[in-house]
Structure 1
């Protein structure tokens, strides 16, 4: 019986007694008051017990909100242009470092005697990128965006220098892993910084500008690295990156404003989810290593492969429990997955990474081996993707900002991307007109440019301002995780198709071709150099055929992955570019800025 019901019953009893015995009135009312006090005390006790987890949740949310909101700082247009220039330059160098390596890896493999293991250069970079992405969002909240960004840029430059000095393949793989940590952190932090300093209405436009420089980095990277390997030496490519990357940090140090919180450093360090990061990183490492090493470094039926998968899965489960039940400041707030639209955007980011990361590796196979183009000319063909990517990133960003809608752009972009990959998988062959190939690459670049950064704009629209850094880092972690899986599975598909052809094709198993077969078998996971071997025209055509078929098998794997992202985009709710709370915060900041300007004018 509830307190209200008992109170009404007591009052009814009092009214009945009034008519019969006035003396009993005092006693009855006294009993009623005592009962009411007992009920109140019990209710208070129950409320206190229920409030314990609520208070804990409020405390954690307030800490997260203080950390997140402390970085909001809408800049004037003049200052914003300088910050945009600095962030764009940092992002461009990060993608030059990430994608330029696709061209130089075969030459590094020859120098370091790593023909069968060179794929680990890209894999180690992406695995390290994934692991640290979990932590960089919270580090940015705690130590300040500027401090962490400058540290990571300098770290990238130092380990680029180390890559140029590496004497063994193991050293090179380790240094690329460290570059992956810095590289991924720079990519995330640049996006976080811009979202801190631009208005909600202009977020799509400025994120589009950033993506244009991503495309520029994707194009300059292969061009720069191919120029070095063709006319100079691959080590000098990394020495040049060291100089460019470290020099770019000076602009950030001078012009980027820093942010501070009233929370003590001790309090911030105490709340970092160290245990969750350890289990999350172990899960990523133990899952990605067998995926990327299965069939190459290890046989798929080896016990260690199964053991790594099992332990990795357990680590992910423990990580989820820690994040949802125990972490005061979770690395990945699982509450963000309660939003169906945000969860779907994360799926899109994963699918995007699966295809985006290995793309240039296999296009290089197509142009250099199937179409007999030089490294430098191949890099020039990449511009058919890079140019449209950069152009339509900027255009689509302005469309999103002006229309306050992102879904039409995502539908168009993923639709073009899916269509292009489907045509590549089904219609492209070794004799297809290069004009037609370039035409398809242009449409591919348009689709990629319209989706790469606008998925981030959509994710920010479905998240709270205090979760901005961790939403961006989670999105980029999933993209990098998808990239690691994409590299691993693409390599596995390519190698399986390649070795199957070597085993079953009658032509390559003829006595006159056994030497060529042995050479190809030794270069399953690295690009062959036809200038180093003497082959007949028939053998040359066989090599073109086998590489064409293997590339088409990889394209066939990619097409449905992007198709999933296209289908998912139709179920994302388009709610505009901001939440009411975020708009309120922005309006308050504008009001304060206007007051400051008026005060300065009066003075």
Structure 2
């Protein structure tokens, strides 16, 4: 076999700054083969447990915390976000150095172990530990699947495939809340986590069988040496300090406490130091330098951050309103969340398709943020006695805006790059989103806690254990309170959630401002084909061995 016929195998030296590369535009081929579709389905199955975890567990958490005799709802919800955020800085370098397949297999296994720990939890400590392990696996899975999608599909075509992946989130958003509510209401919430195990098993089989991609041939020592360990240590330590400070602030300790201010300040300084070190001293940085030098890419990352905050706040804290103010059961609050669940995905699909058809992404980002602001403004008018028609209709408006932005920010991030499957750029995208999810749950929880403390009767607050998260200590008891106390408590919850939505109006306004940095950069078709699937072509003449060709994503793709 001639040397020119052999597939290129990536090495550690292949990972250069993408803005320094000259890309050659590649035409899309007519069709994609079976291997492509099996990998795509496998990735969808990897995404499914993470999506279900987000939507189903948020509905069931009040019941889980109560069943395990706990009070730290914020830790139960934030442990996943903190762990998934902490692991993400490693992912871009890890998949570039060790390859896509070993990375995704390892993260699926971590997610499965975490799910088993949560399902078997006998107390809140074990449950929170399981959520942390789940976060390590879930965050890594989402990051690696984003990278694999980008390896397979040119950016202009990616919109319709994002639509398919958004449908997975739509399915999870639609069935997750009622599943979580049903399992919590019937006392079998543990199966929310045990059901992840067979899904992880099937996805592992598909990934191992069909994700035939190249891995660098360098020695293990060379791979380890090439990792940006200094940058990784700084950003992980800084992220953990910031997230732990935010988790404790306003609940366990006041914002002015040294236990909050010290880690918050050290973490903030560490994040600034990280970007300085990455920009000037690190040869193979964890975070690409171009994120702060290209205004369009920067606008996409900033938009991703603010979208992450507002989207997770809506998903986590709407069920609080339903259960506390409307007396909904866990399954009922899941059904009540349909208004947002059934609108995010269709409008994400519409955004992706419109970007492909019109080759533009700025108008959709502007429109999405404006609609999101209007939606949260409507939610902020809800009171304890608001009708079902009101809170369903207002959710729909929020869902339309969130759906448009859900995938809209990735186009400006990747459009300026010669190769749109840059692993470090995509890993940092998922890091920003996960970091924002942590902020969203903590900011929402802090607003909820502070407002309830100011509005609830003092006699009722005296019965709540010190340091407990008020909302989830009181929700199970609201229905059993006598009037007029029950009405006062529901009014306090309504005002508290309304204040969350007002904060989210401000966050959405900041998201809208990021669009002013955005330019309409033409979306390139070029992919760095060294990371594509190996495609087994027709046998060579004379019955010779089949030839592996690089870049099956574009050569066999549509």
TM-score of the two chains, using structure 1 as the length reference: 0.80
Q: For residues 560 and 602 of structure 1, do their structure 2 counterparts lie closer, same or farther at Cα, with a shift above 3 Å needed?
A: farther
Q: How many residues align?
A: 525
Distance apart, 1:193 and its partner CA? 0.5
Q: Distance in 1 between matches of 2:461 and 2:256?
A: 29
1:64 to 2:16 alignment: yes
* Partner Cα separation in structure 1 for residue 391 and residue 101 of structure 2: 43
Q: Does 1:552 align with 2:498?
A: yes
Match of 2:85 among 121, 125, 130: 130
1:430 equivalenced with 2:430 (yes/no): no
Matched, 1:495 2:433: no
Q: 1:129-278 alignment to 2 at 5 Å? A: 129-278=84-233
- 1:353-403 deviation digits (Å, cap 9, x = unpaired): 111223222101111121122211211122221212122222221111111
**RMSD, aligned CA:** 3.1
**The one of 463, 467, 470 aligned to 1:518:** 463
Q: In 2, Cα distance between the equivalents of 1:470 and 1:79?
A: 25
8 Å CA contact 1:60–1:328 kept in 2: the answer is no
Q: 1:384 and 1:466 mapped to 2: Cα distance?
A: 34
Moved over 6 A (4+): 72-75, 596-603
Q: Deviations over 1:244-268 (max 9, x none)?
A: 2233221222222222234444322
Give the secondary-structure state (helix, strand or coil) at the position aligned to 1:329: coil
Please name the residue that 2:521 is paired with. 575
Q: Secondary structure at the match of 2:216?
A: coil
Structure 1 unmatched runs, 5+ = 1-58, 503-507
Shift of 1:64: 3.1
CA distance in 2, matches of 1:317, 1:487: 23
Cα deviation code 1:257-288 (max 9, x no counterpart)? 22223444432221101121111111111112
Q: Judging changes above 3 Å, is the alpha-carbon distance between structure 1 residues 533 and 404 closer, same or farther for their aligned structure 2 residues?
A: closer
3-state DSSP class of the match of 2:16?
A: helix
Q: For residue 42 of structure 2, what is the aligned residue in structure 1?
A: 86
Query: For the residues of structure 1 that align with 2:316 and 2:341, how far apart are their CA atoms?
Result: 15
Residues 316 and 526 of structure 1: is their aligned pair in 2 closer, same or farther, counting only changes over 3 Å? same
Structure 1 residue 543 corresponds to structure 2 residue 476: no
8 Å CA contact 1:211–1:390 kept in 2: the answer is yes
Aligned with 2:512 (options 553, 561, 566) = 566
Aligned to 1:113: 69
Cα distance in 2 between the residues matched to 1:393 and 1:602: 47
Deviation at 1:195, TM superposition (A): 0.8
Task: Give the CA deviation at 1:174.
Answer: 1.8
Equivalent of 1:279 in 203, 216, 234? 234
Change (3 A) 1:303 1:391: closer
Q: Is the 8 A contact 1:520 1:528 kept in 2?
A: no
Which residue among 34, 52, 66 is the counterpart of 1:96? 52
Paired residues of 1:369 and 1:547 also in contact (CA < 8 A): yes
Tell me if structure 2 keeps the 8 A contact 1:276–1:319: yes
C-alpha separation in 1, matches of 2:299 and 2:109:
35
CA distance in 2, matches of 1:328, 1:310: 28
Give the structure-2-normalised TM-score.
0.86
8 Å CA contact 1:207, 1:454 repeated in 2: no
The one-character-per-residue Cα deviations of 1:464-486 (angstroms, maximum 9, x if unpaired) are 42872111111221122122122
Determine the C-alpha separation between the residues in 1 that align with 2:161 and 2:301.
Answer: 21
SS class of match (2:463): helix
The 3-state SS of whatever aligns with 2:327 is coil
Structure with the greater relative contact order (CA < 8 A, sep ≥ 6): 1 or 2?
A: 2
In 2 relative to 1, CA 328–530 (structure 1 residues): closer, same or farther, beyond 3 Å? Answer: closer
Distance 1:600 1:368 in 2: 69
TM-superposed CA distance for 1:61, in Å, is 7.4
| Contact persistence 1:94–1:217 (CA under 8 A) | no
Distance 1:61 1:563 in 2: 42
Q: After the TM superposition, which residues 396-545 of structure 1 pair with which residues of structure 2 at under 5 Å, given as runs? A: 396-425=351-380, 427-465=381-419, 468-502=422-456, 508=457, 514=459, 518-519=463-464, 524-526=470-472, 528-530=474-476, 534-545=480-491
1:82 to partner: Cα distance: 2.6
Deviations 1:301-347 (A, max 9, x none): 33333322332233224322331233222111223320011111111
In the TM superposition, residue 451 of structure 1 has moved relative to its aligned partner by 1.2
In the TM superposition, residue 436 of structure 1 has moved relative to its aligned partner by 2.6
Does 2:287 align with 1:332?
Answer: yes
CA distance in 2, matches of 1:467, 1:88: 18
Higher Cα radius of gyration: 1
Name the CA distance, whole Å, in 2 between partners of 1:485 and 1:529: 23
The answer on whether the counterparts of 2:180 and 2:334 sit within 8 Å (CA) in structure 1 is: no
> Is the contact made by 1:207 and 1:457 (CA closer than 8 Å) also made in structure 2?
no
Q: Choose between structure 1 and 2: higher helix proportion.
A: 1
CA distance in 2, matches of 1:200, 1:555: 34
Q: Measure, in 2, the Cα distance between the counterparts of 1:167 and 1:568.
A: 45
Larger deviation: 308-317 or 442-451? 308-317
Q: Deviations over 1:460-517 (max 9, x none)?
A: 2123428721111112211221221222221111111111113xxxxx35xxxx3576
- Local SS of the residue matching 1:566: helix
Q: Is contact 1:406–1:576 with CA below 8 Å preserved after alignment?
A: no
> Alpha carbons of 1:552 and 1:597: their partners in 2 closer, same or farther (altered >3 Å)?
same
The 3-state SS of whatever aligns with 2:383 is: coil
**In structure 1, what is the Cα distance between the partners aligned to 2:391 and 2:61?**
25
Structure 2 counterpart of 1:13: none
- Specify which of 28, 32, 35 is matched with residue 76 of structure 1: 32
Shift of 1:571: 3.3
